[in-house]
A and B are shown apart, each in its own frame.
Chain A
Amino acid sequence: MAALLEVRNLAVEFHRDRAVSRAVNGVTLSVERGKSLGIVGESGSGKSVTVKAIMRLLPRYARSASGAVLLEGQDVMRLSEGRMRHLRGRRMAMVFQDPHAYLNPTKTVGSQLVEPLILHRLAAGAEAKRRAVDLLRLVGIPSPEVRFTQYPFEFSGGMLQRVMIAMALIADPDLLIADEPTTALDVTVQAQILRLLRKLKEDRGMAMILVTHDLVVAAQTCDEVVVMYGGTVVERVPSHKLLTASAHPYARGLIACTPRISNADTIPTPIAGQPLNLREPLPGGCLFAARCPDRVAQCTEVRPQLEDVAPDHQVACFVAAGAAKEGAVHE
């Protein structure tokens, strides 16, 4: 089955104040129709920049050095800005971390909610309002007619995030990208929003990308997960294997240091060292080599590429890939 979205070797640099910051250094991933992909990583891993680059929402000082973003085979990085506008909101829509910041504070929620319909000439006036109100009801907002005329500041964070989700869905996109949609919310609300996202994805058969720093959230919400470090994908794994059978030392390290409520009597084992400084020239070999407990000589010389360790499971690590091959030979 051909992927709906395919990203090949995407790289993004930021040039500012005569300094270069290498935010994304060769990301390859794909999502199929009706599937959901989680992108996890810590701050500075490039996960958020990657999805903003897919939507071409990066600020002007960002330079996409190389790579391709293919939406059903069409490279969106080569589209004119005018053609790109037809895709944004219509074929790919986005939900952001802080809904209060991503809505115009001086306009009613309703007027902003119908904007995609008007922009893409799908509906206007009463028809647009009817569809918006229906959608508000669908995402679980009580008395949607009243809510339609209210301003963003009259909503709680969780409520407003539902509005943002409705706004992303109103033009019926093929791909929904959610960038840390629950990070700013309380845990009880987070659980509700994640359930909502999963349900909407199933009902509408669209593809979804969920960006999060929380591995457990990704594992619970998505079909497949990619783990990012230093602007590269280090592992691509089916979500049911993420927490138990991940192969990359960084992914395993992340899992080990995630606090778990069920088994919290021991303090998690931290990953040694500091995160990569993307303002400095990148190391020649594996980006994680300096912090890696399994490092071998090869790691500091050659950058590992994603290799299959199992069907649907790829890792960019010499040691892990080697171990998998050995395992296969022994079998």
Chain B
Amino acid sequence: MVRFLARRLAYMFIAFLCISLVTFMLMKMAPGSFFNANFQVNGVSAVAGSYGVSPQVMDALIKYYHLNDPWYVQWWYYVHGFLTWHMGTSFEYPGTRTVTIIDTAFPFSVRLALMAVATGVIIAIPIGVTAAMRENGWMDVGLMFFAMLGTSLPAYLVAVLLIVLFALWLHLLPVIGFTHPQDFILPVLSLALPMVGALSRYLRNSLIDSLHSEYVTGVIAKGGSLSRAVWRHALRNSLLPMITVVGPQLAGLMTGTVFIEEIFDLPGLGHYFVGAANVRDYPLIMDSALLYATVILAMNLLVDLTYGLFDPRIRRAGDLG
């Protein structure tokens, strides 16, 4: 188990380096940078210009940001900064370390994503179980139709439709704001509903496979009821593969919040990222991209580990090796 973990962590680190390298290269290869784009393309930069940057200051800035060093030094500067959590200063928000931005914005995004996943799983399980226990009945067909709607619509479209429904017609919920609990209902629902669609469909199909499998017949033959077979046996076995679905969903949500943050004007990291990409704020782009990559990689690792913990076959094999 320890060896397995060590190997996975090593892979994870290599993947992290690759991702940082590719992101860095792309950023560098692109025409224009924060400074020369603002100076040479636009004449006077909107941002840098407002600080009255002279060529001397520019030189100082370039030096400060290591922009004249060889590429690998610059790259390492980002990676090292990220790994030691001593990240550099944002271009766009001079004087503000990206750590500060990340520190306030990232927890916000994480909270949003976690609330969405929790909501999604809590709604999806009863829907999946209900549909599976009434396989091909009208309840099943109806629920799965709505689940299909959920899977085929992106979160932001759901957000728009929810806004139309709750804010425009019913005047029930606020659309803008992020201070009161009710402000979060629509954003969380927008993220959760597409997930409910995917998860409940998955759960239903996997439960039905279980319900058709012999071991459920075995439980019934002992005198167990269908609901015991579902809750005590089949659900447990279906939740296991569902972890592999939830993991990437959660990772996807982390970036999916970008659009929701835009639509509802929420101060999450995605919101900052879009701004940073538009003005080529290298440090902020690099650091948030690396952060997201780390989260996704960690999530994938977690999925594998959980899988191992739940499956006795893998767990026992782990004992041996």
Contacts and interface: CB of A to CB of B under 8 A. Distances in A.
A103 interface: yes
Interface string A45-63: 0000000000101011000
Interface in A198-232: none
A96 B213 CA distance: 13
B17 interface: no
Contacts of A151: 312-313, 316
A225 B171 CA distance: 75
B316 A60 contact: no
B23 interface: no
Given A59-B212, A105-B215, A105-B313, A85 B224 contact: yes
Interface string B294-319: 00000000000000001111001000
A154 B310 CA distance: 16
Given A89-B221, A120-B223, A167-B222, A107 B213 contact: no
Given A96-B214, A151-B313, A154-B316, A106 B221 contact: no
Specify which of A86, A89, A153 lies most central, judged by the most chain B CB atoms within 10 Å of its CB. Answer: A89
A108 B220 CA distance: 18
A105 B237 contact: yes
Interface residues of B, number: 24
A105 B135 CA distance: 23
Interface in B211-234: 212-215, 217-225, 228, 233
A35 B233 CA distance: 35
A104 B236 CA distance: 10
Contact of B225 (A85, A154, A167): A85
A88 B212 contact: no
A323 interface: no
A57 B226 CA distance: 11
Contacts of B312: 105-106, 108, 151, 153
Contact of A60 (B135, B215, B225, B228): B135
A310 interface: no
A111 to B, nearest CB: 10
Contacts of A119: 222-224, 228
Nearest to A84: B223
B222 A101 contact: no
Interface residues of A, number: 33
Nearest to B221: A94
Contacts of A116: 222-223
B47 interface: no
A178 to B, nearest CB: 12
Specify which of A90, A93, A115, A116 lies most central, judged by the most chain B CB atoms within 10 Å of its CB. Answer: A115
A96 B217 CA distance: 10
B223 A107 contact: no
A79 B45 CA distance: 84
B240 interface: yes
A145 interface: no
A98 interface: yes
A57 B221 contact: yes
A209 to B, nearest CB: 14
Contact of A153 (B221, B224, B313): B313
A83 to B, nearest CB: 11
A87 B313 CA distance: 34
Nearest to A115: B222
Contacts of A106: 236-237, 240, 310-312
Contacts of B237: 104-106
A116 B217 CA distance: 14
Nearest to A107: B233
Interface in B81-123: none
Specify which of A59, A106, A167 lies most central, judged by the most chain B CB atoms within 10 Å of its CB. Answer: A106
Given A101-B213, A106-B237, A107-B233, A93 B221 contact: yes
A88 B214 contact: no
Given A85-B225, A88-B221, A89-B223, A102 B215 contact: yes
B223 A90 contact: yes
A287 B236 CA distance: 46
A88 B311 contact: no
Contacts of A93: 221-222
B215 A104 contact: yes
A132 to B, nearest CB: 13
Interface of B: 135, 212-215, 217-225, 228, 233, 236-237, 240, 310-313, 316
Interface of A: 55, 57, 59-60, 81, 85-90, 93-94, 96, 98, 101-108, 112, 115-116, 119-120, 151, 153-154, 167, 171
Given A85-B223, A87-B223, A106-B237, 16 more contacts: A85-B224, A89-B223, A90-B223, A94-B221, A96-B218, A98-B214, A101-B214, A102-B214, A103-B218, A104-B218, A104-B237, A105-B237, A106-B310, A119-B223, A151-B312, A167-B222
Closest 6 CB pairs of A and B: A89-B223, A89-B222, A101-B214, A102-B218, A88-B223, A151-B312
